[in-house]
Structures are given as structure tokens and as C-alpha cells.
Amino acid sequence: MKKIISLVLCFVFFLIPLASCGENNEAPEKAKIRIAGMKGPTSIGFVGVMENNENEYEFSLEGTADAIVPKLIKGELDMAAVPANLASTLYNNTEGEIQILAVNTLGVLYILSKGEITSVSDLKGKTILATGKGTTPEYTLRYILSENGIDPDKDVTLDFKSEATEVVSALAQSEGGVAMLPQPYVTIALNKLKDFKVSIDLNEEWKKLNPDGGIVTGVLVVRKSFADENEEAVKSFLSQYKSSVESVNSDVSNTAKLVVKHGIFDNEKVIEAAIPNCNITFISGEDMINPVNKYLGVLYEQNEKSVGGKMPKEDFFRIVK
């Protein structure tokens, strides 16, 4: 009998700490998702999530992608908004550890002139001021020119400057200047140069050649290992991100205020005018595959290194349902 009583007491004492644990209603703190973006259009879609963030996400903004890449590779970031070709390069260099979750920005490139340019064919014989030599803006322009029967090396002169501000200054000093600029520098240029206007939307020209999608400027990427372990958290973020992008495009005035508040851009008036032309979007799932592959394919044909040496495989795309 004593043995039985002893066993019962031992069992009761064993249950006491378990019961006390059960009475603790404090759930363990959920790990924050660490997300980075660059100061510019590719991060504008984040503002709704940033504004309503209830300690779920840790956002950081960088001036260039160079500051994001090492952190992403080392696992110090979980997600990032980066240029599409950089996403491909990271995928190739990490053996598939970096995957695309969504396209967040389409074309932001425009041709400016004083009005004499109305179509791509009108660019023949012109000098085109631009930035981005040896990078995606140049490859995009060359592709659109070539597909419209213009030899980029013979029929036009491409005059590359190191910064967009140099292009604006050069335009101001030219009589019949033509330039390719990205937003929001298009808006800045038009505010300074009243005689100039947007003559060609290169995203629209791309869509004429590729009806299933525009120029894929920016994408949201995730570390595969993180997504594998946190599927529901990734799904929840994407849902909030999609809603944020919808708000960006439906309430431009408020978006501009939030963009400045959260440090993505520093001029509310300029960014409010630029947002409608920044093509902020949210394309996920299987819908992103064809536009991304087409865009990367165009870059690959011009410079294999621009996408990391080879086209990414099917698992480059993280399909979240």
C-alpha cells in the first residue's frame, strides 16, 4: 500500500510543473521576418505593410542592392525587393537558395524629348542620353530598338552618363535632346525642363512585343530555407503585401506621404506625381513565370553574366497557394 501511495504522490508532483506551464498563457515571441528593399520604386509597395506593422516585420532600406546581397546570402535577411536579374544571379550563385515570390515593379523607363518623337521608329538617327551602361536599362533599350528595326550600334548614338542628374543637366543644354530615364527622375526632369515631355513609355513598347507581360524591373525574393520552415508566415506576408500594393495604386496621395514617412523617397510632391508611372504591381504564382522568363531571356541573349551565367530553373519560382 505504501508503495502505491508513493507512486501516486510522485505522479502528482510530476504533474504540478506541467499544470503550471499550462496556466502560462504567454505564447513564445514569434520571430520577425527581416525584409530589405532599396530606396526607390521597388520598395513603394511595402508602405502599407510598414504602416500597419504590428511587430511582425523588420524592414530595412538601402541605397543600393550591394548592401542587401551579402545579408541575404548570410541569412541575415529573410526577404528582399531586388532587381529581377539580380534575383536570377543570386539563385544561380546560391544553388537555388534564393527564390522569387512575386513581381513587384514593371517598367519604369521612359523616353523624353521636346515632342518630335512619337514612336520608336522616330529614334533613328538620334542621340539618346541615358544611364545604366552595361546594365538592364541598356539591354532593354537595345532590345526594343532592335525589335523595331533599329540597329542600336549604327542607327542611333547611345550617350551614357554615370547618373540620372547628369542626363537632366545635359538635356537642359541641348536643343533637340532625347533621353531615356527611369522614374522618379522622369518627374524631376519634367519639373525642371518645361519644354520636354514623355514621348515613349518603354514598358508599353515591351508589351507590344510581349503581350503576356511588361518589363520586369523588381521582384520580391525569399530564402528557400526560410520559406520551407515558415510557410504560413510567408503566405500571411504576401497577403498583406498584395493589399498594400492595391492601396498604393488606389490612394496615391496617401501613399506619397507614407513613402516619405518611411524613408523610401524624400520628396512628397515628386513621388506623388511619379507613382502612377512607376508600375507598382503584385504578380505571384504561375502568373509571374512567363513575364520573368521572357525578360531574363532578353538579358541573357545580350549578356549571360547579367542573369548569373545561365537561365534559372523552374524552382526559381516559389509558388505560394
Q: Give pLDDT, residue 115.
A: 74
| Whole-angstrom distance, CA of residue 1 vs CA of residue 302 | 88
Helix or strand run (H / E) with residue 64: none
- Over residues 239-266, the mean pLDDT reads 94
| Whole-angstrom distance, CA of residue 64 vs CA of residue 47 | 19
Q: Which residues pair with 103 in a beta bridge?
A: 219, 283
pLDDT band at 213 (very low <50, low <70, confident <90, very high): confident
pLDDT at 105 over 50: yes
Extended beta strands in the chain, E state = 33-38, 57-62, 79-83, 98-105, 109-113, 127-130, 157-160, 178-182, 197-201, 218-223, 280-284
C-alpha cell at 144: 526594343
Q: Give pLDDT, residue 94.
A: 94
Amino acid at 308: G
Buried/exposed 262-292: b ≥16 CB within 10 Å, e otherwise: bebbebbebbbbbbebbbbbbbbeeebbebb
Q: Give pLDDT, residue 31.
A: 64
For 313, which DSSP code? -
pLDDT at 189 over 60: yes
For residues 117 and 200, is the Cβ–Cβ distance under 8 A?
yes
Q: Give pLDDT, residue 28.
A: 40
Cis bond leading into 184, ω under 30°?
A: yes
Q: Give pLDDT, residue 232.
A: 94
Q: Give pLDDT, residue 24.
A: 44
> In the β-sheet with 178-182, what is the strand arrangement from edge to edge?
157-160, 127-130, 178-182, 109-113, 197-201
Q: Which range, of 26-40, 56-70, 202-216, 275-289, averages the lowest pLDDT? A: 26-40
Higher pLDDT, 200 or 115: 200
For residues 138 and 108, is the Cβ–Cβ distance under 8 A?
no
pLDDT band at 291 (very low <50, low <70, confident <90, very high): very high
For residues 66 and 285, is the Cβ–Cβ distance under 8 A?
no
- Over residues 279-299, the mean pLDDT reads 95
Q: Give pLDDT, residue 25.
A: 45
pLDDT at 1 over 60: no
pLDDT at 23 over 80: no
Q: How many CA atoms lie within 13 A of 260 on its CB side?
A: 12
Q: Give pLDDT, residue 211.
A: 87
C-alpha cell at 65: 542592392
Q: Give pLDDT, residue 175.
A: 75
- Over residues 73-98, the mean pLDDT reads 96
| Whole-angstrom distance, CA of residue 18 vs CA of residue 72 | 40
Q: Give pLDDT, residue 21.
A: 41
* 185-192 helix and 164-172 helix, angle to the nearest 10 degrees: 20
Q: Which of 120, 112, 223, 239 lies closest to 174 in space, CA to CA?
A: 112
- Over residues 270-289, the mean pLDDT reads 94
Average of per-residue pLDDT values in the chain: 88
Higher pLDDT, 14 or 300: 300
pLDDT band at 287 (very low <50, low <70, confident <90, very high): very high
Q: Give pLDDT, residue 30.
A: 56
Chain segment 126-174, per-residue pLDDT in tens = 999 999 898 999 999 999 999 999 999 999 999 999 988 899 898 888 8
Chain segment 44-59, per-residue pLDDT in tens = 999 999 999 988 899 9
Residues 6+ apart with CB under 8 A from 111: 117, 123, 128, 178, 179, 180, 198, 199, 200, 202
Q: Give pLDDT, residue 4.
A: 40
